[in-house]
C-alpha cells in the first residue's frame, strides 16, 4: 500500500536511480563547524571508489555508485540523509559522527544495513555478539585511551604513579567516550585524572586553559574535533604548555588542526590509526581520478591525514565488498551479504601492499564476536611543518578495555532485549 | 461566494460559538482531518514519516506550547530547548524504570514533569518582564542542559551520556524503537497534535486565554480588572511547558530514538521554535502550524530541489541557507505579523470576493 506513493516520489526525490550498482552512501559534512575535518575525509572516501571505477571497472565487475548527502554534522539531518538514501540499496553507512552513529545503530540494525564507524561511534559496538550490524574496526576510543596511556607508561619507565593527566574533551557523546576507560586506567596506574569539558563548537576555551595553567598537569590528553582542536592548540601555545606533553586522539591530529599555530605547535603529538606518507595509490588517484576531472573536492587534500583515513575507510569497505562477493558468489551484493563480508574481512600486510597502500593500517581479522579489530594505533608528532611518525603500531591493553566493552554492551542488550548473535561457537 | 457567514444559520448558542463559524472553514478542517487520518497513514513510508511529517507534527506541538506563553501571555521564553530536554529525560527515566508503562502515559507524565519545572522557572516572571525575563529563561536553558550533561543518574550512567529509547508499545504495537512502523509513529504523533491543538484552541478562546491576553496587552490594567497575575502567568508557564515537554519527549522517543542533550536540545532549538512562532504568527494556533511547516518542510523541500539540480552538495547546502534566510526576510517584510496574518487577510478578502469595495 505504500509502494505507489514511494515510486511516484522516488522519481522526484532521487533523479535517475540505476539498478544493480554497488551503492555506497557518503554522509559527509562539507559545511558547518566541522567541515575542516569532514571535507578531506569525504574526498578520500569518494576518490578511492572513483579510482576503483576508473581503473578496475568497479569491484568484481560491478560499478560503484556513490550517493552523497550533506549532514553538516547535525544529527537530525543525518537521520534524514539515512532515510532518503537507504531505499537505494545502500551497502554500508559511514557517517563520521558519533552523534549520528548513535541514531543509526538501532535503525540500520532493524533495516539490515551494516554500519562502519571507524574509530568513532559507540565503542561497545566492537562486541559483535550484541551489535550484529555495527563494525568499528580497526580501532575504537577505548583502545585510543589505552594506547595513549601505554605510550606514556613506556616513556615514564612503566609507572605513572603520582602523575596528573587532564582530559580535555568535546562535551558530547564523542568526547565522553574515553572517560570510563581513563578512570579505570587511573585507578590501575595511580595517576590522577582531571576532566575538562569544552562545549560545542569549542571556539571559546579561555576558562579551560586557565584551569590547566593553574593546575599544570603533567599531560593533557585531548578528545577534540573541528575548530576545537585549532583553538586548543593555540591556547596551549599561548600558555606555553610543553607541547610534547599535549596529546590528541586520532581526530585531533590533522594538518589543519596545527597549521594555524604552525611552528609554535611543534612537539604536539597525536594518535593516528593509519600510517602517513606517500603511497603508490596516491599517484593512481591523481592519474585516474583527478586527471580525469573526477576529484570529489578541489583535489588539494591528497595525502593529508584525514584524506588518507577516508581512503583507508573506503578501502576497507571495498575489501569487504570483495570478500562478500567471494562468499556469496555474486557480484551485485545486498546489504545482508555486505554484512557477511565485513564480518569475514581479513586485512594482511600483503594485501595492503598489493593495493598500493603498504602498511596503512594494522593487520586484523574480523570475527562474529569481535567487530573491533586490534585497536592498535601509531603516535605521530607535528614538527612545525609536517606530521612525523614516532612509533610503530602500539597495542592497547585489552584486559582493561574488554571488560568495559562487555559490561556496556551487556547493558545495551538487556535494555533492548537482544539475544546473542553468534551462538555458542 | 463560498466563503461567507451569510446563509449559514445558527440555531443554538453552541453552534454560534463554535471554533469554525464559517461552513467552508469547517469542511476544510474535516478534510484535513480526513486526509491526516484516512489517507496519509496508508501512503506513508519511512522517508516521509521520519524526515517530514513526524518532525513537523512534533515541532507544531512545541510551537503551540511556546505560542501560549509568548504569543498569548506575552512572556518571552528562550528556555524551550531546556524544557524539551526535561520532557525527553523524564521519558527516558520512565521508559527504563517502568518497562511496562505504555507510551501515552509516559508522554503525558513527561509533559506533567516539564510543567512543574516550567512553573519553577516561571516564578521570576512575576517580578521581571520583557528582555529580562528572556535572560532568566535563557538561564533555565543553560542550566537544564548542563544538569542533564553533568548528573549521570539522568542518563543511567551510560558511558557517553547519550540516551537511547528502548522499544515500547501501545496496545501491543511498537511505537518507539527501530521496529516501529512509520504509520504507527505518525498516528501516535498525529493523535497528540490533534488533542493538544484542540485543547489549546479552546483554552485560548476561554476565560484562561482572555486572562493571558489581558496580561500580554497590559498587565497593570489586567490586574485592575481582576486578573490574578500570579495565577495567569504560572498557568501559562505550566500549560506551555506541558506542551513543550510533550514535544521534547516525542522528539526523543518517536523521532530521534537516541539523543545527546547538548546537540538535540541546545540553545539553537529554543531559537528554532521561537522563529517558528514569529514567522507563523504570535498568538495564533494556525500560525504555530504554519511556522513549524515553514521551518521544517522548507529546508527539506529545498534540499530535494537542490539535489535535482546536480550542484555540488556543499554549494547546494550554502544556497539553502541563503534561500531560507531570504524567504524569512521576505515574509517578515511583507507581513511582520507572520503567516497567520497573511492567512487572515486572505480569508478577509475571500469574504468579500467577488465584490471587493
Nearest CB to A172: which of B258, B263, B304?
B263
Q: In 10 A of CB A165, how many CB atoms?
A: 24
The one-character DSSP state at B35 is I
Chosen for mutation from B39, B41, B43, B47 (greatest number of chain A CBs closer than 10 Å) is B47
**Is residue A5 scored above 50 in pLDDT?**
no
Residues of chain B with Cβ-Cβ distance to A6 below 8 Å are 45
Question: Is residue B50 situated within a structural domain?
Answer: yes
What stretches of A211-360 adopt beta strand conformation (E)?
219-223, 246-248, 269-272, 346-347
Give the pLDDT of residue B1.
62
Question: Is residue B324 situated within a structural domain?
Answer: no
Number of structural domains (chain B) is 1
Q: What is the pLDDT of residues B159-172, one digit of tens each?
A: 778 888 888 888 88
Question: Is residue B313 situated within a structural domain?
Answer: no
| Contact predicate B59/B279, CB 8 Å | no
Reported as half-sphere exposure (CB side, CA atoms, 13 A), residue A10 has a value of 16
The band of A316, judged by pLDDT with boundaries at 50, 70 and 90, is: very high
If DSSP codes are grouped into helix, strand and coil, which group holds residue A254?
coil
Q: What is the pLDDT of residues A345-399, one digit of tens each?
A: 999 999 999 999 888 889 889 988 889 888 889 999 999 888 999 888 888 888 8
Question: Is residue B103 situated within a structural domain?
Answer: yes
> The C-alpha cell of A257 is what?
588542526
Give the pLDDT of residue A189.
92
Q: In 10 A of CB B39, how many CB atoms?
A: 11
> The C-alpha cell of B143 is what?
542550566
Torsion angles phi and psi, residue A68, rounded to 5: -100, 150
Residue of A16 and B1 predicted with greater confidence = B1
d(CA A16, CA B187): 32
Question: Is residue B354 situated within a structural domain?
Answer: no
**Residue A15 contacts by C-beta under 8 Å, 6 or more apart in sequence?**
B307, B308, B310
Residues of chain A with Cβ-Cβ distance to B179 below 8 Å are 110
Contact B262 A171 (CB under 8 A): yes
Whether B318 and chain A come into contact, CB under 8 Å, resolves to yes
The full set of domains in chain A, from first to last, is 20-139+276-369 (3.40.50.2300), 141-272+379-400 (3.40.50.2300)
d(CA A341, CA A172): 32
Average predicted confidence (pLDDT) for chain B: 88
Contact B43 A2 (CB under 8 A): yes
d(CA A113, CA A86): 8
Question: Is residue B316 situated within a structural domain?
Answer: no
Distance (Å) from the alpha carbon of B258 to chain A's nearest alpha carbon: 5
| Contact predicate A228/A175, CB 8 Å | no
Residues of chain A with Cβ-Cβ distance to B180 below 8 Å are none
d(CA A42, CA A95): 10
ipTM above 0.95 for this complex: no
- Domain carrying residue B68: 44-270
The band of B4, judged by pLDDT with boundaries at 50, 70 and 90, is: confident
Helix axes B267-280, B339-352, angle to 10 degrees: 20
Residue of A224 and A12 predicted with greater confidence = A224
Amino acid at each position: 500500500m505504500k509502494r505507489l506513493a514511494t515510486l511516484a516520489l522516488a522519481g522526484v526525490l532521487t533523479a535517475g536511480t540505476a539498478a544493480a550498482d554497488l551503492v555506497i552512501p557518503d554522509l559527509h559534512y562539507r559545511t558547518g563547524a566541522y567541515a575542516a575535518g569532514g571535507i578531506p575525509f569525504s574526498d578520500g572516501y569518494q576518490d578511492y571508489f572513483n579510482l576503483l571505477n576508473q581503473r578496475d571497472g568497479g569491484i568484481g565487475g560491478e560499478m560503484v555508485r556513490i550517493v552523497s548527502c550533506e549532514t553538516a554534522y547535525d544529527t537530525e539531518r543525518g537521520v534524514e540523509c539515512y532515510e532518503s538514501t537507504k531505499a537505494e540499496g545502500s551497502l554500508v553507512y559511514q557517517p563520521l559522527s558519533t552523534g549520528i552513529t548513535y541514531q543509526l545503530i538501532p535503525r540500520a540494525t532493524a533495516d539490515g544495513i551494516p554500519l562502519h564507524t571507524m574509530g568513532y561511534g559507540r565503542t561497545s559496538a566492537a562486541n559483535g555478539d550484541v551489535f550484529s550490524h555495527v563494525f568499528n574496526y580497526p580501532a575504537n576510543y577505548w583502545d585510543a585511551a589505552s594506547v595513549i596511556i601505554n605510550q606514556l607508561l613506556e616513556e615514564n619507565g612503566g609507572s605513572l604513579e603520582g602523575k596528573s593527566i587532564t582530559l580535555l574533551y568535546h562535551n558530547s557523546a564523542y568526547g565522553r567516550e574515553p572517560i570510563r576507560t581513563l578512570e579505570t586506567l587511573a585507578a590501575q596506574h595511580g595517576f590522577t585524572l582531571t576532566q575538562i569539558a569544552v562545549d560545542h563548537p569549542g571556539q571559546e576555551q579561555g576558562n579551560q586553559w586557565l584551569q590547566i595553567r593553574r593546575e599544570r598537569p603533567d599531560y593533557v590528553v585531548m578528545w577534540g574535533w573541528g575548530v576545537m582542536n585549532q583553538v586548543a592548540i593555540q591556547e596551549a601555545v599561548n600558555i606555553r604548555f610543553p607541547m610534547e606533553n599535549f596529546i590528541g586522539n586520532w581526530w585531533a591530529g590533522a594538518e589543519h588542526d596545527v597549521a594555524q599555530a604552525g611552528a609554535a605547535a611543534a612537539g604536539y603529538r597525536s594518535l593516528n590509526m593509519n600510517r602517513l606518507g606517500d603511497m603508490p595509490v596516491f599517484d593512481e588517484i591523481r592519474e585516474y581520478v583527478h586527471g580525469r576531472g573526477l576529484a570529489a573536492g578541489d583535489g588539494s587534500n591528497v595525502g593529508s591525514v584525514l584524506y588518507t583515513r577516508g581512503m583507508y575507510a573506503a578501502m576497507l569497505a571495498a575489501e569487504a565488498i570483495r570478500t562478500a562477493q567471494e562468499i556469496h558468489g555474486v557480484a551485485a551484493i545486498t546489504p545482508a551479504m555486505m554484512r557477511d563480508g565485513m564480518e569475514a574481512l581479513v586485512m594482511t600486510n600483503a594485501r595492503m601492499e598489493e593495493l598500493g597502500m603498504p602498511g596503512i593500517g594494522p593487520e586484523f581479522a574480523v570475527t562474529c564476536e569481535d567487530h573491533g579489530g586490534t585497536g592498535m594505533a601509531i603516535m605521530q608528532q607535528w614538527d612545525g611543518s609536517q606530521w612525523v611518525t614516532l612509533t610503530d603500531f602500539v597495542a592497547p591493553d585489552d584486559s582493561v578495555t574488554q571488560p568495559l566493552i562487555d559490561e556496556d554492551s551487556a547493558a545495551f542488550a538487556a535494555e533492548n532485549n537482544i539475544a546473542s548473535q553468534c551462538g555458542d561457537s | 461566494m463560498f466563503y461567507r457567514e451569510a446563509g449559514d444559520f445558527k440555531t443554538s448558542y453552541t453552534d454560534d460559538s463554535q471554533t469554525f463559524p464559517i461552513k467552508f472553514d469547517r469542511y476544510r478542517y474535516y478534510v484535513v482531518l480526513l486526509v491526516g487520518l484516512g489517507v496519509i497513514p496508508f501512503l506513508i513510508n519511512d522517508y516521509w514519516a521520519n524526515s517530514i511529517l513526524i518532525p513537523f507534527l512534533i515541532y507544531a506541538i512545541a510551537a503551540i506550547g511556546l505560542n501560549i506563553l509568548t504569543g498569548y501571555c506575552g512572556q518571552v521564553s528562550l528556555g524551550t530547548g531546556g524544557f524539551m530536554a526535561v520532557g525527553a529525560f523524564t521519558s527516558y527515566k520512565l521508559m527504563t524504570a517502568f518497562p511496562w508503562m505504555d507510551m501515552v502515559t509516559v508522554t503525558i507524565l513527561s509533559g506533567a514533569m516539564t510543567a512543574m519545572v516550567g512553573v519553577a522557572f516561571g516564578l521570576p516572571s512575576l517580578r521581571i518582564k520583557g528582555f529580562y525575563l528572556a535572560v532568566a529563561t535563557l538561564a533555565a536553558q543553560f542550566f537544564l542542559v548542563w544538569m542533564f550533561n553533568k548528573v549521570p543518574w539522568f542518563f543511567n550512567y551510560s558511558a557517553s551520556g547519550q540516551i537511547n529509547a528502548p522499544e515500547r508499545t501501545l496496545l501491543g504495537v511498537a511505537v518507539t524503537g527501530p521496529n516501529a512502523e512509520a504509520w504507527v509513529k505518525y498516528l501516535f504523533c498525529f493523535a497528540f497534535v490533534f488533542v493538544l491543538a484542540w485543547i489549546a484552541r479552546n483554552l485560548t478562546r476561554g476565560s484562561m486565554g482572555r486572562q493571558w491576553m489581558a496580561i500580554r496587552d497590559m498587565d497593570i490594567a489586567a490586574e485592575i480588572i481582576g486578573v490574578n497575575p500570579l495565577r495567569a502567568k504560572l498557568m501559562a508557564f505550566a500549560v506551555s511547558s506541558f506542551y513543550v515537554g510533550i514535544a521534547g519527549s516525542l522528539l526523543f522517543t518517536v523521532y530521534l530514538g537516541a539523543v545527546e542533550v547538548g546537540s538535540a536540545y541546545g540553545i539553537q532549538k529554543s531559537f528554532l521554535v521561537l522563529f517558528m512562532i514569529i514567522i507563523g504568527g504570535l498568538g495564533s494556533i494556525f500560525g504555530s502550524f504554519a511556522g513549524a511547516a515553514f521551518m521544517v518542510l522548507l529546508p527539506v523541500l529545498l534540499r530535494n530541489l537542490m539535489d535535482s539540480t546536480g550542484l555540488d552538495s556543499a554549494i547546494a547546502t550554502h544556497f539553502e541557507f541563503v534561500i531560507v534566510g531570504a524567504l524569512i526576510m521576505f515574509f517578515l517584510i511583507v507581513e511582520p505579523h507572520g503567516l497567520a496574518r497573511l492567512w487572515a487577510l486572505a480569508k478577509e478578502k475571500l469574504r468579500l470576493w467577488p465584490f471587493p469595495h
